[in-house]
Amino acid sequence: MVCSGLKVAVATYNLYWWCVSDKFGNCPQFAYGRGFQQLYQRIASNPVDLFGFQECDDVEQVMAGAGLANFGYYSTPGGNDAPMAWSWDRFKVVEGPASEWITQDTYSSRWLNWVRLQEHSSNTIVFFANTHGPLGQCAGERGQQVADAYMRSMWKHIKKNDVVIFTGDFNCRIWDQTLISLREGLQDTAWDNVFQAADHIFTSHGVGLCSQESILGAPSDHQFLKAVLLPHGGPKPPPVPNHNATKPAAHDCPKAPSNGPCCHHCKSNRFCPGDKGCYADGQPGCATETCAPNSAELLL
């Protein structure tokens, strides 16, 4: 099917704020604003219409630094690190923005943020939501409860004929119950290929996918996940991989001294607890602690 008609470009991006900002003094490679300058360049060089951010402490700073003055944004309450931004050239706000509490984990409350937007040229209403999911609440009954909380929160505000776009770092693996349950009500249109697919762009069923990219997100430890959507139909997204398909073959592992995407089964990659970085065997960069094999702590 041809990719024609109304297109909306969407990105979800975890900004790795604590390290990019050198907040605790343990990411010296990003000190003195170096991390932020790299972050702004990454965002500015990948223009989209809708941004869902995670681990973002100051969305106003990010949008100004990236030179995106033509964007509105939702500067969320303290402790809510999943703000969102939208192009004024494409959209006007018709309801919201607002936040819905989802759950609590050991770090903070976790929220769903949302806004209803009207696209100027078509009058299409987009219900845009974004989240940063809880840690350790993905499997079994607890994972189902989190998915139910997301869906309840959205359906309280979604109106008939709204096109749903839901971005986030869900802190879950693609086969975990939270994401399985979300796929029962929404279309899993795009996902990253690092962190066992924690980052996703969900949409209403029937939304077309013109293109999607999981591109290098440095200085973040997450990829910059971007999708060009066709709200009124178009090519279907690829099928969601099964459990085994999410694990690359051994020959796909990064070779030393590459510090490319971490994978749990690759013996050449090591996880650094001190700066949450990923390094090859023998590669310098883990100044605070001894590098250790990758662990579930990679899911932040």
Question: Across the chain, what does the average pLDDT equal?
Answer: 84
Residue 2 lies in a domain: no
Query: Which one-letter DSSP state was computed for residue 274?
Result: T
Residue 186 lies in a domain: yes
Residue 235 lies in a domain: no
| Assigned token pair, 152 | 């309840």
Residue 1 lies in a domain: no
Verify that 216 and 257 share a domain, yes or no. no
| Assigned token pair, 259 | 């510090």
Out of 73-87, 208-222, 235-249, 257-271, least confident range = 257-271
pLDDT bracket for residue 39 (50, 70, 90): very high
Q: pLDDT higher for 34 or 290?
A: 34
- Per the DSSP assignment, residues forming a β-bridge with 119 are 91
Residue 148 lies in a domain: yes
pLDDT above 90 (res 194): no
| Assigned token pair, 208 | 């077309």
Mark which of 203, 230, 257 sits at the end of a domain.
230
Verify that 88 and 204 share a domain, yes or no. yes
User: If you average pLDDT over residues 215-238, what whole number do you get?
Assistant: 92
Residue 299 lies in a domain: yes
Which residues fall within 8 angstroms of residue 190, CB to CB, at 6 or more apart? 200, 201, 209, 212, 214, 225, 226, 227, 237
In one-letter notation, the amino acid at residue 50 is L
Residue 129 lies in a domain: yes
The candidate with the shortest Cα–Cα distance to 219, out of 58, 24, 33, is 33
Q: Which residue has the tokens 């990064």?
A: 254
| Assigned token pair, 193 | 């290929």
Q: How many CB atoms lie within 10 A of CB 278?
A: 25
- The CA dihedral of 196, 235, 112, 87, to the nearest 10 degrees, is 120
Mark which of 180, 201, 230 sits at the end of a domain.
230
Verify that 48 and 84 share a domain, yes or no. yes
Verify that 295 and 198 share a domain, yes or no. no
pLDDT bracket for residue 196 (50, 70, 90): confident
Query: What is the CATH number for 34?
Result: 3.60.10.10
Q: pLDDT higher for 227 or 108?
A: 227
pLDDT above 50 (res 262): no
pLDDT above 60 (res 300): no
Q: What's residue 273's pLDDT?
A: 46
> How are strands ordered across the β-sheet holding 269-272?
277-280, 269-272, 292-293
Please name the helix (run of DSSP H) or strand (run of DSSP E) that holds residue 40, with its range, or none. helix 34-44
Which residues fall within 8 angstroms of residue 292, CB to CB, at 6 or more apart? 270, 271, 272, 273
Q: What's residue 4's pLDDT?
A: 82
Verify that 288 and 155 share a domain, yes or no. no
Verify that 88 and 39 share a domain, yes or no. yes
Q: What's residue 226's pLDDT?
A: 97
Q: What's residue 5's pLDDT?
A: 85
Share of the chain above pLDDT 90, in %: 66
What 3-state DSSP class applies to 270? Answer: strand
Q: How many CB atoms lie within 10 A of CB 155?
A: 11
- How far is the C-alpha of 239 from the C-alpha of 236, rounded, in Å? 9
> What letters, b where the CB count within 10 A reaches 16 and e where it falls short, cover 212-250?
bebeebbbbbbbbbbbbbbbeebeebeebeeeeeeeeee
pLDDT bracket for residue 197 (50, 70, 90): confident
Residue 136 lies in a domain: yes
User: If you average pLDDT over residues 109-137, what whole number do you get?
Assistant: 96
The candidate with the shortest Cα–Cα distance to 147, out of 109, 176, 187, is 176
Total number of domains constituting the chain: 2
- How far is the C-alpha of 180 from the C-alpha of 189, rounded, in Å? 13
Phi, psi of 37 (to 5 degrees): -60, -40
Angle at 191 between CA 14 and CA 113, to 5 degrees: 50
Q: What's residue 155's pLDDT?
A: 94
Mark which of 174, 196, 230 sits at the end of a domain.
230
pLDDT bracket for residue 243 (50, 70, 90): low
Verify that 223 and 261 share a domain, yes or no. no
Domain that holds residue 266: 248-300
Verify that 174 and 288 share a domain, yes or no. no
Q: What's residue 295's pLDDT?
A: 36
- How far is the C-alpha of 118 from the C-alpha of 124, rounded, in Å? 6
Verify that 152 and 259 share a domain, yes or no. no
Phi, psi of 136 (to 5 degrees): 70, 20
- How far is the C-alpha of 221 from the C-alpha of 298, rounded, in Å? 9
Verify that 141 and 175 share a domain, yes or no. yes
Verify that 111 and 182 share a domain, yes or no. yes
- How far is the C-alpha of 274 from the C-alpha of 272, rounded, in Å? 5
Verify that 198 and 50 share a domain, yes or no. yes
- How far is the C-alpha of 118 from the C-alpha of 95, rounded, in Å? 9
